[in-house]
């Protein structure tokens, strides 16, 4: 049943009081402790004072869409967003309605308890299977390789995954490492949102199938919450329509942001060449970037702005990140591990697209600021390529307008954080030396000058 399911006094459980654990066929002696304070992901609408604790693999994506719509329904619709088709990676509100610290969120927004808060929980085995299949089977088969989670090196082997998960989570309990993105998807639900202290502040819904009668009960109870918080009837109707209009996607396959998805992509250049370019009829190009600037862009975007990837457990500490990056890259060369999603953002540029064999096939553009004179030269050269390939003039004009219309949503070029980290890095020749060692052949191959600070 979805309605207010948790009537047991689980808040009083203690990890060393197995006599309080309900009697089952298992004695609970090997159970992980409940109510550890690990991950918090609160989303909220300040407009209607509604908050939700997101637990991965339990309606988290679609609830993010609902709260985003409630926060600014006009902008949500104006930007052609819909509740069933929102994805985590391209979510409209992003972190403007999110908070990762339960105590901080309570202090800033709910000190006097004026918010109505809720969360969803799921039968634990079903939730585990949902996480494993989604992250280790579906995404590994259907999504871009750079977005794959490592699945503990087990790929689609569920037995391997379970044993390694058990080992990893117990080591976390013992303080031997922090939690990875993969871990967050499979840790116990009681470890989220400081449940030990805040559980009884939440209305708790059990996850049920959208086709079940219980789902209708849940919709009725959610409607009651929205009415209690004075959400207008037309917005309640929109939310209910969204919640009955389809499944939440766990990839970018239905995202309007990535319209073509994998239909124009290929992850193996030998295979692509064999299938499409055996006679060399394609004109190929790529972009390269001054290695230090590229590193800073990746670090700031992934570890300071987005904060989704693990960043080698360094958080926003660039010194820690650089030392661990060096260690990981050398261990990869020694065959001790595969590349993670984070690694792929910071490996040398010469490691991409089998440059050793295909480098001379590409026209190589250096990345430059859109406000620079060199950018105009690049646009001219790109126009020449498009004209050579008989692209119609109206399409060329459309492309040029797009390339002069603003920054990519991942751009960090004008951010104050990037400037701060660059200043920090340029004052540390020891860290620069590590990066130059890592990216030495990027400097040499693409003709970028080494940083002057290296010789001070």
pLDDT tens digits, one per residue of 351-406: 999 999 999 999 999 998 888 888 888 899 999 999 999 999 989 999 998 888 75
Do 367 and 324 touch, CB atoms closer than 8 A? no
Return the ∠ at Cα 433 (arms to 428 and 435), rounded to 5°.
100
> What average pLDDT does range 157-168 have in this prediction?
94
Alpha helices (runs of H) in 72-117, residue ranges in sequence order: 73-78, 102-109
pLDDT over 50 at 121, yes or no: yes
From 123-127, 222-226, 266-270, the region with the lowest mean pLDDT: 266-270
pLDDT band at 74 (very low <50, low <70, confident <90, very high): very high
Task: List, as own/partner pairs, every contact residues 16-24 make where C-beta atoms lie below 8 angstroms and the sequence separation is at least 24, other chains included.
Answer: none
List strand residue ranges (DSSP E) for 78-229, in order: 98-99, 116-121, 202-206
From 3-12, 59-68, 404-413, the region with the lowest mean pLDDT: 3-12
Task: List, as own/partner pairs, every contact residues 394-403 make where C-beta atoms lie below 8 angstroms and the sequence separation is at least 24, other chains included.
Answer: 403/370, 403/379
pLDDT tens digits, one per residue of 261-310: 455 666 788 888 888 999 999 999 999 999 999 999 999 998 998 877 77
pLDDT band at 8 (very low <50, low <70, confident <90, very high): very low
- Residues ≥6 apart with Cβ < 8 Å to 452: none
Q: Which of 249, 268, 271, 269 is nearest to 258 (CA)?
A: 249
How far, CA to CA in Å, does 128 sit from each of 165, 176, 236, 369? 11, 23, 31, 45
| pLDDT reported for residue 335 | 87
Length of the chain: 456
> What average pLDDT does range 336-345 have in this prediction?
84
Name the β-bridge partners of 52: 43, 118
pLDDT over 50 at 94, yes or no: yes
User: Which of the pair, 30 or 116, is modelled with greater confidence?
Assistant: 116
Q: Which of 370, 446, 377, 447 is nearest to 413 (CA)?
A: 370
Name the β-bridge partners of 53: 42, 119
Residue with tokens 């001219």: 380
Task: Give the mean pLDDT of the chain.
Answer: 84
Residue with tokens 């990981």: 328
| Domains in the chain: boundaries | 42-132+186-245, 269-370+406-454
Do 121 and 204 touch, CB atoms closer than 8 A? yes
Q: Does the reported pTM lie above 0.85?
A: no
- CA dist., res. 253 & res. 242, Å (int): 18
| pLDDT reported for residue 104 | 96
- Give the pair of three-digit tokens for residue 283: 């004109």
pLDDT band at 350 (very low <50, low <70, confident <90, very high): very high
pLDDT band at 13 (very low <50, low <70, confident <90, very high): very low
The percentage of the chain sitting over the pLDDT mark of 90, rounded to a whole number, equals: 53
In this structure, how many other beta carbons lie within 10 angstroms of the beta carbon of residue 402? 9
């Amino acid at each position: 049943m979805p309605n207010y399911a948790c009537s047991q006094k689980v808040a009083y459980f203690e990890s060393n009081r197995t006599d309080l654990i309900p009697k089952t066929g298992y004695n609970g002696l090997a159970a992980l402790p409940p109510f550890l304070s690990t991950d918090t992901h609160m989303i909220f609408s300040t407009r209607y004072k509604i908050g939700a604790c997101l637990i991965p693999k339990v309606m988290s994506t679609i609830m993010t869409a609902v709260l985003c719509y409630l926060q600014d329904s006009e902008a949500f619709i104006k930007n052609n967003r819909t509740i069933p088709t929102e994805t985590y990676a391209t979510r409209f509100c992003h972190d403007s309605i999110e908070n990762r610290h339960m105590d901080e969120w309570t202090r800033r927004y709910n000190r006097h308890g004026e918010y109505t808060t809720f969360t969803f929980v799921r039968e634990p085995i079903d939730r585990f299977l949902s996480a494993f299949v989604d992250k280790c089977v579906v995404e590994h088969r259907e999504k871009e390789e750079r977005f794959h989670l490592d699945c503990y090196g087990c790929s689609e082997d569920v037995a391997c995954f379970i044993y390694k998960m058990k080992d990893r989570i117990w080591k976390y309990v013992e303080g031997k490492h922090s939690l990875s993105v993969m871990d967050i998807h499979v840790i116990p639900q009681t470890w989220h949102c400081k449940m030990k202290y805040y559980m009884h502040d939440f209305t708790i819904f059990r996850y049920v199938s959208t086709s079940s009668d219980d789902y209708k009960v849940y919709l009725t109870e959610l409607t009651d919450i929205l009415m209690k918080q004075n959400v207008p009837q037309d917005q309640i109707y929109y939310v209910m329509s969204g919640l009955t209009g389809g499944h939440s996607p766990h990839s970018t396959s239905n995202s309007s942001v990535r319209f073509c998805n994998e239909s124009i992509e290929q992850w193996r250049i030998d295979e692509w060449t064999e299938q499409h370019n055996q006679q060399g009829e394609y004109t190929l190009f790529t972009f390269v970037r001054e290695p230090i600037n590229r590193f800073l862009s990746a670090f700031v975007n992934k570890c300071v702005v987005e904060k989704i990837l693990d960043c080698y457990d360094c958080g926003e500490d660039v010194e820690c990140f650089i030392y661990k990056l060096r260690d990981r890259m050398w261990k990869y060369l020694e065959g001790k591990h595969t590349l993670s999603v984070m690694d792929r953002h910071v490996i040398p540029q010469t490691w991409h697209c089998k440059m050793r064999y295909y480098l001379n096939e590409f026209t190589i553009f250096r990345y430059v600021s859109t406000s620079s004179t060199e950018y105009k030269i690049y646009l001219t050269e790109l126009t020449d390529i498009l004209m050579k390939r008989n692209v119609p003039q109206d399409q060329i004009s459309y492309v040029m307008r797009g390339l002069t219309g603003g920054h990519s949503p991942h751009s960090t070029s004008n951010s104050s954080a990037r400037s701060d980290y660059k200043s920090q890095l340029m004052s540390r020749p020891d860290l620069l030396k590590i990066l130059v060692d890592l990216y030495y052949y990027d400097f040499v191959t693409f003709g970028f000058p080494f940083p002057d600070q290296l010789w001070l």
